[in-house]
Structure 1
Amino acid sequence: MTTTAVHKEGPAAVTPRPTVGSHLRGYWGRVRGGDIGALPAVLGLIVLCTVFSIMRPSFLTAGNFANLFTQGAAVTLIAMGLVFVLLLGEIDLSAGFASGVCAAILANVATKAGYPWYVAVLAAILTGVVIGTVLGFLVAKIGIPSFVVTLAGFLAFQGIVLMLISGGANISVNDEVLVAIANRNLPPTLGWALAAVAIGGYAAVQLLRHRKRLARGLTTDPMAVVLARIGGLTLILGIAVYILNQERSRNVLINSLKGVPIVVPVIAVLLIVWTFVLQRTSYGRHVYAVGGNKEAARRAGINVDKIRISVFVICSSMAAVGGIVAASRANSVDPNTGGSNVLLYAVGAAVIGGTSLFGGKGRVLDAVLGGAVVAVIDNGMGLMGYSAGVKYVVTGVVLLLAASVDALSRRRASASGTR
C-alpha cells in the first residue's frame, strides 16, 4: 500500500518584536563598536550645567536661560550649515566672515537703501547662495582643496566687510522686524501652542513610523522606547517653555520681559527642515554616500560634483541666516561681525555635537547640541568671572576631546567591522 506524505505549511515566519532589554543591549553594542553619536555632547552638557548651577546659582535663572538661546543662536545656525560640508570631509573656513558679508548686505539694503526687511533678508540670503556657489565651484570643478579656497575666502570676505561698511563705521539696524528676531519674545500662550504642535508632530511621526515598520514586518523599536522618546521631548519642552515664560524683567512696570525668544522657533524650524532633507530625501542619502566613499558614490551614478557644490551653497546660506541673527542681536553691523571667535565656535559646535571631521557621519542636531555646549561654557565661565583667554582654552580643550573621541570611535568601528 502506497502512502502519500502530506506536507502542511506552518505559519509564516514573523519577525520577533524587540524588547526594551534587547533594544538597550543593541544600543550598548553600537556604542562599544564606536557608534556613539551625540552621547558625549549630551553627557558633557549635563555635567557642565550641573557644575555651573552648583557654583553659580544665577546660572539657572530664567533670564540667564533665555540669554543662552540668544547668545548661541548665530553660532548654532552657522554650525548647522557647516555640518553639510563636514559630512563630505571638507571644511569651510570662510563661514564666519561670509556671515559678516551677508549681514553687511542686510544692513546696507535695510538701513542705507531703505528697503523693507524682507527685501534685505532676501538680499542677504542670495549673497550667501552666490558665495557658496563660487566656493563649491572652485572646490568641485577646479579641484582646489577646500582648505585653501575657504582660507582665501576668509581673508577676502574680511576685506569685503570693511568695504561694505565704508572703512569701519557701524551701520545700525533699526527695522522693528529685524531687531525682533534676536531681541523679542513670543507671547506665553503662543510659546505653549508651538510646543504642543512640536510634540504632537513628533509623536505622530514616531508612531506612524512604528506602525509602518510593523506592517512591513521590519524590525522596529519597542513601543515603550517610542513612548519614552515622546515623553522625554514633552518633558524637555515643557520645562523650557515654563522657565522662559517666567517674568525676567527687573522692573515689570516699565517693561515686561517673558516668553520664548523668537530666535528659538527659527532654529527649530530650520532644524526640522534640514533634518528632513538629510534623513528623508534622496539628496540626503547622496550626501552621506559621497561623504562615506566618493568614488563608490560616483560609480553608483551620483553626481558627486553637484553634491559638493550644493553643500557649500547650504553652508553659506546658513551663514547668511546666522549673520542676520547676529545683526539683529547687536542692532548693528560692524567690521567684527562674523569675525573673532565665530568661525572657531561654529566648527567647534558641529564637531563637539558629534559630526565627524572625516566625513560620512553627522546630523544637523549635532550643531544644536554642540552650540548649546559652547554657549554654556561661554556663559557659565563668564558668570564665574573668568577671562576670555580662559574661555578659549577650555573651549579648545573640549573641541580637542571631541575630535579625539571621533577619531577613537572611528578606529573602533573599523576594528569591529561596522565601518
Structure 2
Amino acid sequence: MTTKAQPAPSALALDLQDERLQDRTGLRGQYKAFLDRTRSGDLGVLPVIGGLILIWAVLQILNPIFLSPANLVNLTMESSAVGIIALGIVAVLLVAQIDLSVGSVSGLAAAVVAVTSVNMGWPVWLVILATIALGAVIGWLYGQIFNRFGVPSFVVTLAGLLGFLGLQLYTLGAKGSINLPFDSPLVYFAQLAFVPVWLSYVLAAAAAASLFTTDYFHARARQHAGLSAMSLQNIALRAGLLLAALGVTVWYLNQGRGVGWMFVLFIVLTLVLNYMLKRTQWGRFVYAVGGNPEAARRAGINVRAIYTSVFITCSTLAAVGGLLGAARLAAANQGSGTGDVNLNAIAAAVIGGTSLFGGRGSAFAAILGIIVIQSISSGLTLLNLDSSFRFMVTGVVLLLAVTLDSVARRSRTSHGKA
C-alpha cells in the first residue's frame, strides 16, 4: 500500500505558522518561538548586531578614540542623511523591487534647496515642501512607468539616475556650486541643533512608553478577536529593555555634544515607517505583494497602487535625505548625491537585514545597516587608512549579508517542505 506524498505547505500556511509562533504568550513561549524561528533559518537581526559588535570591538582595540562620546555623536550625525535615504530603499525592497536613482534624486533635491533658498529667497517651510513634493512626483512617475508599461524597476530607476543627475547639473548652473548661509535654519538644524539633556531623557522615556502602549493595545485587539496575544509581562519587559538601552545611549552621547535633532528626525521617521509597515493595512499589503504579487492580486489587493506607493515613499525620503545632506555640508554642488551615497543607501538596507527577494525586513534595517557602514568609514578614517579599504570592507560585509539572506531563505524553504 502506497501513501500519497503530502503537498508542500503554501506560502499562506507558512505565514500562519510563523504567526502562531510569534503569538505564543509569556516569556517562555516567546523564547521557544525565537528558537523555532532561528532553527528554521529566520535569524532576524542577530547577524547584523553580532557583526556590529565585532566591528566596534576591533576598531576600539585599534583606536581607543573610536567609541568615545565625541566620535559616536559625529557618527550618528553623519549617518542620518543617508540613513533616511536607506529607509526608502527598505520600502522598495520589501516588494522585491529596486531604486537605483536615490543618489541622483537626493542630489537634485539638494540643488533645488540651494537654488530656491539662496537664489530665489524662498522661506524655509516652502523650500521643504517643494523638496518633498519633488520626491513624491518622481516616485509617482516611476510607479506609472512601471505599472503601465511593464518596464523593470531596474531600468526605470537607472534611467532616472542618469536623467536626474543631468537635471541636477542644469539646476546648479555654470558655477556648479551654491553655498548655503551658515545662519540658515536648515544648516543650524543639521550642524548645531542638539537636544537639551533633560529633553533627551524625556524622549527616551516617551519612546519606551510608545512601545508599551502600541503593544498593549495590539494585544488587547487580538484578545478581543479571540486570538492569542503577547502577555502583559512580556510587553513590560520589552518596553523596559528599550528604556534601559535608550537611557544608557542618551547618557553616553550626552558626555559629548549630545543627541542631534537630525538624528532624532531619522529615528522618528524610522518609527513612523515601522508603524506603517507593522500596524496598518498598507504595511500588510506591502509584505503580501513582496511575498507573492500574484497571490496578493487574487486576494483583492491593488498591487499597482502598492508599487506606486513604495516608489513615492522611496523618492520622497531620498529627497529629504538630499535636503539634510546639503544642510549638513552647507552647500549643494555637482558632487551632491554622487560618489557612494547611492551604493551606501542600498547597502545599508541590505546589510540591515532587508531581503532582496522581497517580503522580509523592517524599517530598523536602515538604522542598523547605516551604522555598520558609517562605523567602518569612521573607524578606518581614524586609522588614517585610504578610502579604498572602506569600499573593500563594505563590499565584503554586503556580500556576507546577501549570502546569509540567501542561505536563510533556502533554509526556510527546506524547513517548510520537511
**Length-normalised TM-score, structure 2:** 0.90
| Counterpart position of 1:187 | 196
* Distance (Å, rounded) in 1 between the aligned partners of 2:272 and 2:323: 19
| Counterpart position of 2:342 | 343
| Counterpart position of 2:101 | 94
1:231 alignment partner, one of 235, 240, 245: 240
* Distance (Å, rounded) in 1 between the aligned partners of 2:278 and 2:209: 20
2:67 alignment partner, one of 60, 65, 86: 60
| Counterpart position of 1:135 | 142
Equivalent residues of 2:24, 2:33 under 8 A apart: no
| Counterpart position of 1:12 | none
2:208 alignment partner, one of 181, 188, 199: 199
Residues 1:240 and 2:249 aligned together: yes
Which of structures 1 and 2 has the bigger CA Rg?
A: 1
- Per-residue Cα deviation, 1:122-171 (whole angstroms, up to 9, x for no partner): 11111111111111111111111111111111111111111111135311
Distance 1:19-1:277 versus aligned 2 partners, 3 A rule = closer
Name stretches of at least 5 consecutive residues in structure 2 with no aligned partner.
1-22
Residues 1:20 and 2:19 aligned together: no
Residues 1:80 and 2:87 aligned together: yes
Cα displacement (A) at 1:401: 0.5
* Distance (Å, rounded) in 1 between the aligned partners of 2:277 and 2:223: 24
Does 220-229 or 140-149 show the bigger shift? 220-229
Amino acid at match of 1:187: P
Give 3-state SS (helix, strand or coil) of 2:122's partner. coil
Amino acid at match of 2:204: A
- Per-residue Cα deviation, 1:160-211 (whole angstroms, up to 9, x for no partner): 1111111353111225310122212122222222222222222222334345
Name stretches of at least 5 consecutive residues in structure 1 with no aligned partner.
1-15, 249-257
Map 1:13-412 to 2 at 5 A.
18-174=25-181, 176-184=184-192, 185-214=194-223, 217-246=226-255, 248=256, 258-412=257-411
* Distance (Å, rounded) in 2 between the aligned partners of 1:95 and 1:82: 8
**Length-normalised TM-score, structure 1:** 0.90
Identity %: 41
Amino acid at match of 2:352: G
Equivalent residues of 2:273, 2:363 under 8 A apart: yes
* Distance (Å, rounded) in 2 between the aligned partners of 1:259 and 1:119: 29
- Per-residue Cα deviation, 1:42-71 (whole angstroms, up to 9, x for no partner): 111121122222221101211101111111
Equivalent residues of 1:168, 1:335 under 8 A apart: no
Give 3-state SS (helix, strand or coil) of 1:178's partner. helix
Q: How many residues align?
A: 394
* Distance (Å, rounded) in 2 between the aligned partners of 1:339 and 1:331: 16
* Distance (Å, rounded) in 2 between the aligned partners of 1:211 and 1:92: 38
